[in-house]
Amino acid sequence: MNVIEFLENPDLMSDAYTGESWEAMKAVLSGAFAVPMPESRKALFDKLAGGREAPAATVKELYIIAARRSGKSDTIGAVAVYLATVGVMLDNRLERLSVGERAYISVIAPDRDQAGLLIGYIKGKMNESAVLSAMIERETADGLDLTNRVSIRVNTASFRAVRGKSNIAVIFDEACFLRSENAANPDEEIYRAAVPSLATLGGMVIAISSPYSKKGLMYRKYQKHYAKDSERVLVVQGGTADFNPTIDPQIIADALADDPEAAAAEWLGQWREGISDFIERDLIDSLCRSRPLELPYDSRNHYVAFVDPSGGGRDQFTLAIAHKEKSGKIIVDLVRGERGQPAEITASYAEVIKQYRCFTIMGDRYAGSWPKDEFYKHRVTMQHSELSRSELYQFALPMLRNETVELPRDQQMINEFANLERRTSRGGRDVIDHPTGAGFHDDRANVVAGAIYLASKQQQMAPAPRFSR
């Protein structure tokens, strides 16, 4: 049974994959798994694949660049179930496993919410079929163990999710938006870990995503393989109307009228223009001292402190302290980030700030007046920065590039700098910020840029105030 027969079998997938809205995705899967196509489906494949020939055998790597409402998550769920149940039996590949070893379908999601959604899709498809549900040996929080020695696991972005396993497939969901606090380029790192994990069972890499900026795994594969014949790699690209012609075209037209650049990516499946990396990870890494992570107070130095308060939630409340050497080099002495009760963090940071004799500090004005009031309770005066975070990054960039800054080797700070993007607004103004989407942060990078600005100016901030007892 091939993948198309599997999708169209009412005892396995009911009628979930019938109708016009699934024809384009069936054309893509037919090409990837070398399933013969009728002329109408072949025409869809030609359009999405840029006119290249359909592969003669199942490819090793499949990359689907598809806009919103194209059925990406549903396709991932169906393909994962197919490969774990029927697809794995086609060439007796499980005979290659050692005694007691299991094979895996490893699905990589961009965040926990999306992972939960994918787990729901996969478990739902298995449980709705009397045939497939009989194969479930055990349900876990992150997937399923099947009676045929195959397990399906859904994890967030980490190369550890695939390393050390014998994988039948490694499937990336929204590969253009993968993020991690432990890696600047998690899609590339997971891919490098995935390739050897697929060797034993001759498995596949499958990546599905809406397009974003012109960087990362998906764009690299697009550049190299789109519209080019290959028996190993297939790359397809299409907009919402290509994958789901039942969508109301007025929705797309309204989005294009409102924000043409964003809509071109989200609804037309095109790569976004005007987005580039702010600074190279290797450069940031080279600026970091090996140790210590935090430098102690030295009475010979004049210190400055910059804070980025958080009202709670996913953002961190961050602090950076820095000073300028006689040579002109700026040393970032420490960077910290905490989540929790803002008042408690303020009290803790105030003690650190006073240890460095910084009775007047500067911070992001976005949080409003409460941080100033809270710091004042601890005899620390906070002033609002006259520069936006984007302007602070732009100010810091020349000093970072000229290597006149020393940074602590804080891994999260390094990753946040490496993930920063430069975008050109409609008015032609450059904006520096973290990537859009849940999971991206720049709280530590922001306070470091602020501390660099203050130290470079040797800003003599307001003198320590007289506090009433």
Residue 177's pLDDT band (cuts 50, 70, 90): confident
Q: What is the pLDDT of residues 211-238, one digit of tens each?
A: 988 888 999 999 999 999 999 999 999 9
Q: What is the pLDDT of residues 393-447, one digit of tens each?
A: 999 999 999 999 999 999 999 989 988 888 876 666 778 888 776 567 889 999 9
pLDDT for the residue numbered 183: 57
Is residue 447 within 8 A of residue 306, CB to CB? The reply is: yes
- pLDDT above 80 (res 115): yes
The reported pTM is 0.74
pLDDT for the residue numbered 437: 60
Nearest C-alpha neighbor of 19 from the set 256, 248, 246, 289: 246
Nearest C-alpha neighbor of 253 from the set 241, 242, 243: 241
The better pLDDT of the pair 276, 84 is held by 84
Q: What is the pLDDT of residues 181-210, one digit of tens each?
A: 555 568 888 899 899 999 999 999 999 999
Work out the average pLDDT over 282-295.
Answer: 94
Length of the chain: 469
State whether residue 430 is helix, strand or coil: strand
Nearest C-alpha neighbor of 297 from the set 327, 333, 329, 336: 333
Work out the average pLDDT over 103-116.
Answer: 90
Q: Say which residue the tokens 């990753």 belong to.
A: 415
Residue 162's pLDDT band (cuts 50, 70, 90): confident
Is residue 389 within 8 A of residue 364, CB to CB? The reply is: yes
d(CA 42, CA 47): 9
Is residue 434 within 8 A of residue 399, CB to CB? The reply is: no
Q: Mind listing the domains of the chain with CATH numbers? A: 3-273 (3.40.50.300), 281-457 (3.30.420.240)
Give the DSSP H/E element, type plus range, for residue 376. helix 370-376
Q: Say which residue the tokens 């764009």 belong to.
A: 219
pLDDT for the residue numbered 462: 45
Q: What is the pLDDT of residues 306-363, one digit of tens each?
A: 999 975 567 789 999 999 999 999 999 999 999 989 999 999 999 999 999 998 899 9
Give the DSSP H/E element, type plus range, for residue 153. strand 150-156
Using CB atoms within 10 Å of the CB of residue 97, give its burial: 0 to 12 exposed, 13 to 18 middle, 19+ buried: middle
